[in-house]
Structure 1
Amino acid sequence: MNWTPSRADFDTYMVPCYAPQQMIPVRGEGSRVWDQQGREFVDFAGGIAVNALGHGHPALQKALKEQADKVWHLSNVYTSEPALRLARWMVEHTFADKAFFCSTGGEANEAAFKLARRYAHDTFGEHKDTIISFRNSFHGRTLFTVSVGGQPKYSQGFGPALGGIKHAEFNQLDSVRELIDERTCAVVVEPLQGEGGVRPATQEFLEGLRQLCDEHEALLIFDEVQCGAGRSGTLYHYMQYDVVPDILTSAKAIGGGFPLAAMLTTDDIARVFTPGTHGSTYGGNPLATAVGLAAMETIAKPETLEGIGERHALIVEHLERLNQRFGLFSDIRGAGLLIGAELNDAWQGRGGDILAAAVEQGLMLLVAGPNVLRFAPSLVITPEEIADGMARLERALEQLTS
């Protein structure tokens, strides 16, 4: 087809559930992207924490090209070598005994919630089916996951929400104590809330959740779709708290840009997912899992993980400098290379304006709600690229304040 699409074609041909920026990226290398006109952008968005190794990483390219010459898809009527290699790697590097592969974080969470209910049903009886989640949480876009998620805006207008779901207050253990009982089958939490404003859980909170789940024979689920796979500075964020979940979901960075997600759990819990109880057509796809293994092996290297803290400190230092000049942030928080800068009262609701101005200055950025700027760059972004991106953000802020 001899045709160059434009941004206007999005409005013509695409379902309008997105509102993308006006430019169309066509090429990426490392932490830089170029659009159709050849304009260069520094990428602080990382595909919403997906491109953990930036664009065009040679290890991922090599894995994809090699697998492309072998087999692309089989379905789970058969297994594949790449899926088994990645499953073994995940088991050897985490608390888990078993892995389930799928394509998206929402799909991984759907599997986790179904597994928790099935485990409780088969182990304790059908009465034990309630899931406790948290306000401002985000777990996906399926009807089940938006019902579990604690942001009504994502579930409004889609008919009755699923029952058996309660919402407590994040980082407030007493609010969980008020809700948990003999009917509770699971508590699901993001150790570092992403869409909810980049809010880290406290040590006391996660330790308390573990204890409450143990006392009430409920499973503890960690949603590490956004904060896992190296994003927070360790391979998985639970490792920083020394609090081990029963089920963990992982996606985004795990595939380095290729659609891939995983649910990890123990032998005892996994046993209730017998053949036919759950599945995923693309789960364990050979292309995806081949790339996923290359991504995870690269992310897990000491030089990758050890450099995340240095990059975190550098970004925070730049943000504090910008805050001294423009007075726009009330809080800067997060972990590793998932950082949120909350806008103060004078800048409320202007997150979208800042994103648009940043694009004009050659910077790709994110928000987490209308009042939090979100930074999720590549885990291997260079200090020079950070400085360049922050200079572009400064020019965007100058543009908005002039």
Structure 2
Amino acid sequence: MSKNNLMNTYGRFDVTFEKGIGTKLYDVNGKEYLDFVSGVAVNCLGHSPAAIINAIEKQSKNLIHVSNYYWNTEHTALAEKLSNNCHHNKVFFCNSGTEAVEAALKIARKYGKLKSNKNKNILLYMDNSFHGRTIGALTVTGQEKYQKDFLPLMDGVKKVKFNSIEDLNKNFNENVCGIIIEPIQGEGGINIAHTEFLKESRKLCDKFNALLIFDEVQCGIGRLGSLFAYKKFGVIPDVICIAKALGGGFPIGAVLANETASQAFVPGDHGSTFGGNPLACAVSLAVLTELVDKGIINKIEEKSTYLKEKLNNLKDKYNVIDEVKGMGLLIGISIKVDVKDFINLCFKNGLLVVSAGTNVVRLLPPLNVSKAEIDEALNILEIVINKFS
């Protein structure tokens, strides 16, 4: 089977997977891997969970797709389920995190125009952030390596130093229509936003009548131990971008907004052909039932504490780990050796992990991962760490 027909957009590992069950993946040769990537925080219930299989089978027999010119039962139910679990009462459905970010940026720009200030169109974003690869999302991604080959990007944006209240105040004024922040920077290195910084952002948005946007695409949907990441910080944004784990492996994204922000959009301002697709929404409802109603989220903190404690034991034992950071089951291991070599050796030993930033190994197990599976991953990590000691 030729692999030459795919565009060269990813530096893929030399492996082809054909089956996955729970936390395990199996390649075409039958080799087993422990998956602590989870599709980059997507497979929150692991691979091939019964809840998703049943939802796909049931919904595909009823209604797979219908235009957004009409209502459908599933998108209405999912919007209600999401709204009942947050402070936001309006939902727009799309297909991915990048699309969710694009919608949020448009909401902020339109909101600025509605405030009768023709210059109220500035979007603030953080250095070291990552919000996606479309032109709009790329414009507010604070990493030059992703931007440089696609310049010029959008006008009307300003970069702020992450967690710097001084720089935030320096750049905030009446012309700002919105600010976008990841509560935890995933691709940037598992960097946690300071609560004081988020509170100051909220205060300035209220003062200058701008929208506070949280990008929870990677850190939301249970990853931190609450359905929405903002609840761990005590700061309520106006707009939330979610995706990834929302579908547990089935493509779906969403934007949640409060009443004030949502009024920016009227029919014709935005849309998505497949957004609110009945099949995707049925799967998402099944995922949320498992996470929320069946209590998977409630066990995240315990697993996180266990995993970080064991990793810190490895840090004390070997001179390879510099820092263990992160929250919930979004964990970063800052290491003193080449991160690519480290990840490749994990791969050879049957553990899938990915990098974040320049020197961080990222652990993203399924949210229903067992302690036995965490121990299995820790055993492989110790084998690898020992090689570099």
* In 2: Cα distance, 1:299 partner to 1:17 partner: 33
Gaps of 5+ in 1: none
The answer (yes or no) to whether the contact 1:357–1:400 under 8 Å persists in 2 is no
Residue 339 of structure 2 corresponds to which residue in structure 1?
351
Give the corresponding residue for 1:108: 100
Percent of aligned positions that are identical: 37
After TM superposition, the structure 1 stretch with the greater mean CA deviation from structure 2, 308-317 or 132-141, is 308-317
Mapped to 2, the partners of 1:239 and 1:287 lie a distance apart of: 29
Q: Which amino acid aligns with 1:240?
A: K
Distance 1:21 1:318 in 2: 28
2:71 aligns with 79
Q: Secondary structure at the match of 1:385?
A: helix
1:269-306 alpha-carbon deviations (Å, 9 max, x no partner): 21221111111111111111100011112111363122
Deviations 1:309-362 (A, max 9, x none): 111122212222322333112211111000111123xx1xx1111111111111
Measured in 2, the distance between the counterparts of 1:155 and 1:13 equals 26
Query: Number of residues paired by the alignment?
Result: 389
Matched, 1:297 2:289: yes
Does 1:309 find its partner at 2:301?
yes
1:369 to 2:357 alignment: yes
Choose the corresponding residue for 1:388, options 367, 376, 387: 376
**Is the counterpart of residue 167 in structure 1 residue 147 in structure 2?**
no
Matched, 1:201 2:186: no
Distance 1:338 1:301 in 2: 22
CA–CA separation in structure 1 for the residues paired with 2:118 and 2:275: 28
Mapped to 1, the partners of 2:355 and 2:316 lie a distance apart of 21
TM-superposed deviation, 1:256: 0.6
**What is the distance in 1 between the residues matched to 2:212 and 2:6?**
39
Instruction: Give yes or no for the alignment of 1:119 onto 2:111.
Output: yes
Amino acid of the structure 2 residue aligned with 1:205: F
Runs of 5+ in structure 2 lacking a partner? none
**Alignment-derived partner of residue 22 in structure 1:** 14
Q: Deviations over 1:1-25 (max 9, x none)?
A: xxxx4xxx33x12111101111111
Alignment of 1:2-401 (within 5 A): 5=1, 9-10=2-3, 12-301=4-293, 303-344=295-336, 347=337, 350-400=338-388
TM-score, normalised via structure 1 length: 0.94
Contact 1:210/1:245, CA 8 A, preserved across alignment? yes
- Per the TM alignment, residue 37 of structure 1 is displaced from its structure 2 partner at its CA by 0.8
RMSD: 1.3
Q: Which letter does structure 2 place at the counterpart of 1:386?
A: I
